Amino acid sequence: MEQTLKLEHQICFQLYTASKELTRLYRPILEPLNLTYSQYLVMLVLWEEDGIDLRQLGTRLTLDSGTLSPLVKRLIQIGYVEKSRSSDDERKVVVRLTDRGSALREQAMDVPLQVSGMLNIDEATYVAYMEMLTDIKTRLHDFGERQREQ
Amino acid sequence: MEQTLKLEHQICFQLYTASKELTRLYRPILEPLNLTYSQYLVMLVLWEEDGIDLRQLGTRLTLDSGTLSPLVKRLIQIGYVEKSRSSDDERKVVVRLTDRGSALREQAMDVPLQVSGMLNIDEATYVAYMEMLTDIKTRLHDFGERQREQ
DNA sequence: ATAATTTAAATTGTGCACAACTTAATTGTT
DNA sequence: AACAATTAAGTTGTGCACAATTTAAATTAT
């Protein structure tokens, strides 16, 4: 393993800039939907699984309440979601799509196509890259497990 | 190209979480150096190229003055760097390592080794992943070029 | 040479991201 | 049943990240 302090040789830096630049690509696409990138991720979860509670939402997105509480508050202000306490467990806050929030899904349907068009990437490469990224996360989780064990 | 709105199928989401989780891995490693992840990236650049100006620093890290100005101010407070106006162009601010900042390099030398150990990754895989990430960035830049052309 | 344009930093404002803490509800234990 | 421990959200504080604006210096054009 090459060990230097050169910026370009560090995988963390490449991940960090690739993520930032890809997010930048989304900005103009999401602007007409009136969503930031993080808000878009929350909407993706809700379109899949409406009526999820904040805790589960945070687990899916790797975000804690310190990030999600104010973010959801903004989505409420826009009018895409509403929240209420769960009846069977008063600690839990359930997030639900409003009609406008559900309707937005139609508009968002072609976002992935737009993005892959911009990236100009073929299916096989796309799949290979997805596997690499999930593998990196697996390695990170494995390390977390090993740490927790002892 | 599979086109769904499923969170896990979106490359942006995988990049975003992989980047966040890898950064989380760095936190405890960088804590004894008294650096955040972004501050660490700035120090990496300076250890390579001391006396760089803010503009070039921003180009290397894809960060603008709105991020870098306060970040460098914090590095000055810690005592790792100092800044001064360039003599030949008074607009430019040059950032230089202090003795403490230079000395920190020794301590940082084994950070990459610690990280790759935690990731438990072999050289060939590491190289493949780096190539994937630079390819993603190339595709992003290529799109930027195409946009600018017309 | 002067005016217009461009460039470099800094500042302001918004929105994440996360650690640390608080509050309230639920679950477990004795 | 009463108390302790755990869990879910929310709040506070710090530090990015970036758009938009401001200020000052340097270039370019006329």
Per DSSP, the residues of A52-90 read EEHHHHHHHHT--HHHHHHHHHHHHHHTSEEEEE-SS-T
Instruction: Tell whether A144 is covered by a domain.
Output: no
Is B74 within the bounds of a domain? yes
Contact A18 B115 (CB under 8 A): no
What DSSP designation does B94 have? E
Instruction: Quickly tell me which residue has 């935690």 as its tokens.
Output: B118
pLDDT digits (tens, 9 = 90+) for A29-53: 999 999 999 999 999 999 999 999 9
Which nucleotide in the DNA or RNA is closest to residue B17, CA to C1'? Answer: C17
At B78, which CATH number? Answer: 1.10.10.10
DSSP letter assigned to residue B53: E
- What's the one-letter identity of residue B37? Y
The percentage of chain A sitting over the pLDDT mark of 90, rounded to a whole number, equals: 85
Decide if B133 is inside a domain: no
CA–centroid distance for B79 within its chain: 20
Tokens of A143: 């390390």
Residue position matching structure tokens 């992003």 = B140
Percent with pLDDT over 70 in chain A: 96
- 3-class SS at B84? strand
Give bridge partners of residue B118 from the DSSP assignment: none
Confidence of residue A9 (pLDDT cuts 50, 70, 90): confident
Mapping DSSP to helix (H, G, I), strand (E, B) and coil, where does residue B10 land? coil
Q: Is residue A30 part of a domain?
A: yes
Which B residues 120-139 touch A at CB under 8 Å?
Answer: 120-123, 126, 128-130, 132-134, 136-137, 139
- Per the structure block, which two tokens stand in for B98? 């202090």
What is the structure's pLDDT at A149? 64
Residue A83 CB burial class (10 angstroms; 0-12, 13-18, ≥19): middle
The total domain count for chain B is: 1
Contact, B111 vs B105, CB < 8 A?
no
Residue B50 lies in a domain: yes
Q: Are B34 and B81 in contact (CB under 8 A)?
A: no
**How do the pLDDT tens digits run along chain B, 150 residues long?**
556 889 988 999 999 999 999 999 999 999 999 999 999 999 999 999 999 999 999 999 999 999 999 999 999 999 999 999 999 999 999 999 999 999 999 999 999 999 989 999 998 999 999 999 999 999 999 998 887 665
Strands in A81-85's sheet, in edge-to-edge order, are A52-53, A93-97, A81-85
B78 domain residue, yes or no: yes
Write down the mean pLDDT value for chain A.
Answer: 93
Q: Mutating which of A2, A22, A121 best tests the B interface, going by the most B Cβ atoms within 10 A?
A: A22
Contacts of A17 in chain B (CB under 8 A): 61-62, 137
Distance CA(B72)–CA(B85), nearest Å, equals 14
Does residue B127 lie within any of the structural domains? no
Residue A65 sits in which domain range? 7-119
Judge whether A61 lies within some domain. yes
